[in-house]
Amino acid sequence: MDTIYLDNAASTQPDPQVLKAMREVLEQRWGNPSSAHEVGSRARIRLDESRTAIAGLIGCRDDEVYFTSGGTEADNWAILGVLDFWREQKDHFITAPTEHHAVSDVAKWWSERGGSVSWLPVDGDGRIDPADVAKAITPRTALVSVMHVNNELGTIQEIAAIGDICRERGVIFHTDCVQSFGKIPFRMADIVADLASISSHKIYGPKGSGALIVRRGTRLSPRFYGGSQERGLRTGTENVPGIVGFGAAAKLCMERLESENRMVRNMRDRLEREILAAIPNVRINGSRESRAPGLLNVSFRGCDGEALLVALDRKGFCVSTGSACSAGALGASHVLMGIGLDVETARSAIRFSFGRFNRADDVDKLMNVLPQLVERQRQTAPIS
Ligand SMILES: Cc1ncc(COP(=O)(O)O)c(C=O)c1O
């Protein structure tokens, strides 16, 4: 049985060109990039090239890219680094309940430690009204964090408008771009962000590699102490193979972004149309006007998302429910609960996410089995 992978928002298959670049580094450029000799400088060259490729994709300066172990570390560092640096003057943090746990759990931790946190209201599509950000800012606000593209819904946030407000009010603005970097075109200057988190394994690069983009002049505490790497802010010998894989992946995105977006959007739109035509009582979750091209989140009312995922997996289709089973409401996704869905509708959701290695007939193959699986589940295990 062939496996059809429709979970590219969770992770992506490393591109063969990424593997080639990483292999070259592991075999031939394995030195410490901080070493002054030839072996070290061979690694340093590839490290610098990767930094340039990543900066080039979003139009920031090379020295604004700080490599991390991924998106989670970048999110944690951005928030804790700013809140720690400014804690004497300002202790207020503004974010949204629909953020990735790498942001929302840090906000909860900050609040449990006595810091002050405001949670922004979110509409039924997962959008935040920039006017609500303006209302929430106080003289003690140090940081606002609002993600660019929501990982469960695909909804694209109006972050430039939020960034404008933050800049006007002298508040640092962080945005989690893990689901937008390399997937939708944007420039750092256009999104008006001071800090942006990005990750390699969502764009056909290796896991354990990512970066925090720090706009020049933004003040935050270092992530680690003990060394001078990454301009003394994120120290420790660099993960050169991971960074080089990330750089190779970014380079490919630069070349292919437009054509791949068209391809995944076509597949996503066709799947959406066919689901709506063939399966009654479904709800499309997330903004249909402003949504990342490869992502589709659907509630199949009357089904249990986890059971549907398992049934699809048995037929060779990899999808996601989007829920981490950690939210209070019986394993329902905190994002879907955050946009106001009832527990049953939230628990019946499946996220399909397309990527570079999908083929048009993947949709046909899925639609050959999905309507029957949904129907069978509704008959045997009705939950509403
Ligand atoms: C929006 C978002 N932020 C952060 C992360 C975490 O990134 P990483 O897996 O690189 O730690 C993810 C990954 O699922 C994500 O989708």
Distance 69 CA to ligand 1 centre (A): 11
pLDDT for position 326: 47
Which of 69, 72, 175, 351 gets mutated to test ligand 1 (max ligand atoms within 8 A of its CB)?
72
CATH number for the domain spanning 265: value is: 3.90.1150.10
Going by CA atoms, what residue is nearest to atom 15 of ligand 1? Answer: 178
pLDDT band at 126 (very low <50, low <70, confident <90, very high): very high
Same domain, 220 and 318: no
Q: Is 325 a catalytic residue?
A: yes
State yes or no: pLDDT of 325 exceeds 60. Answer: no
State yes or no: pLDDT of 381 exceeds 90. Answer: no
Same domain, 230 and 262: no
The answer to whether 176 and 71 are in contact (CB under 8 A) is yes
State yes or no: pLDDT of 39 exceeds 70. Answer: yes
How many domains is the chain partitioned into structurally?
Answer: 2
State yes or no: pLDDT of 182 exceeds 90. Answer: yes
For the Cβ of 153 lying below 6 angstroms from any atom of ligand 1, the answer is: no
Distance 38 CA to ligand 1 centre (A): 36
Same domain, 144 and 270: no
Instruction: Kindly calculate the radius of gyration of the chain based on its CA atoms and give it in whole angstroms.
Output: 21
Q: Of 219, 237, 252, at which residue does a domain stop? A: 252
For the Cβ of 355 lying below 6 angstroms from any atom of ligand 1, the answer is: no
Distance 71 CA to ligand 1 centre (A): 5
Q: Give every CB contact of residue 149 below 8 A, 6+ residues apart in sequence.
A: 155, 156, 157, 177, 179, 180, 183, 184, 292
pLDDT for position 323: 63
For the Cβ of 7 lying below 6 angstroms from any atom of ligand 1, the answer is: no
Distance 279 CA to ligand 1 centre (A): 31
Atom of ligand 1 nearest to the CA of 199: 10
- Positions of E strands within the chain: 4-5, 65-68, 92-95, 116-119, 141-145, 172-176, 195-199, 210-214, 282-285, 295-300, 317-318, 349-353
Over residues 64-102, the pLDDT tens digits come to 999 999 999 999 999 999 999 999 999 999 999 999 999
Same domain, 195 and 273: no
For the Cβ of 177 lying below 6 angstroms from any atom of ligand 1, the answer is: no
pLDDT band at 327 (very low <50, low <70, confident <90, very high): very low
pLDDT band at 1 (very low <50, low <70, confident <90, very high): confident
Quote the CA–CA distance of 140 and 76 in Å, as a whole number. 20
Going by CA atoms, what residue is nearest to atom 16 of ligand 1? Answer: 151
- Coil, strand or helix at 177: coil
The answer to whether 370 and 311 are in contact (CB under 8 A) is no
Q: Of 226, 252, 278, at which residue does a domain stop? A: 252
Quote the CA–CA distance of 104 and 270 in Å, as a whole number. 33
Range of the domain at 363: 4-11+257-380
Question: What is the length of the chain?
Answer: 384
Residue 362 vs residue 331, higher pLDDT: 362
pLDDT band at 331 (very low <50, low <70, confident <90, very high): confident
Same domain, 241 and 278: no
- Positions of E strands within 72-120: 92-95, 116-119
The mean pLDDT of the chain is 96
Same domain, 71 and 153: yes
Distance 199 CA to ligand 1 centre (A): 7
Going by CA atoms, what residue is nearest to atom 14 of ligand 1? Answer: 10
pLDDT band at 382 (very low <50, low <70, confident <90, very high): low
State yes or no: pLDDT of 26 exceeds 70. Answer: yes
For the Cβ of 150 lying below 6 angstroms from any atom of ligand 1, the answer is: no
Same domain, 213 and 229: yes
Distance 360 CA to ligand 1 centre (A): 27
Q: Of 208, 235, 252, at which residue does a domain stop? A: 252
Q: Give every CB contact of residue 54 below 8 A, 6+ residues apart in sequence.
A: 65, 198, 211, 246, 247, 250
Over residues 222-256, the pLDDT tens digits come to 999 999 999 999 999 999 999 999 999 999 999 99
Same domain, 72 and 199: yes
Same domain, 213 and 285: no
State yes or no: pLDDT of 209 exceeds 50. Answer: yes
State yes or no: pLDDT of 384 exceeds 60. Answer: no
For the Cβ of 71 lying below 6 angstroms from any atom of ligand 1, the answer is: yes
CATH number for the domain spanning 197: value is: 3.40.640.10
Over residues 260-314, the pLDDT tens digits come to 999 999 999 999 999 999 999 999 999 999 999 999 999 999 999 999 999 999 9
Same domain, 248 and 265: no
Atom of ligand 1 nearest to the CA of 75: 4
Share of the chain above pLDDT 90, in %: 95
Quote the CA–CA distance of 25 and 42 in Å, as a whole number. 9
The pair of three-digit structure tokens given for residue 173, joined into one six-digit string:
């603005």
Going by CA atoms, what residue is nearest to atom 7 of ligand 1? Answer: 71
For the Cβ of 320 lying below 6 angstroms from any atom of ligand 1, the answer is: no
State yes or no: pLDDT of 383 exceeds 80. Answer: no
Same domain, 197 and 178: yes
Same domain, 295 and 263: yes
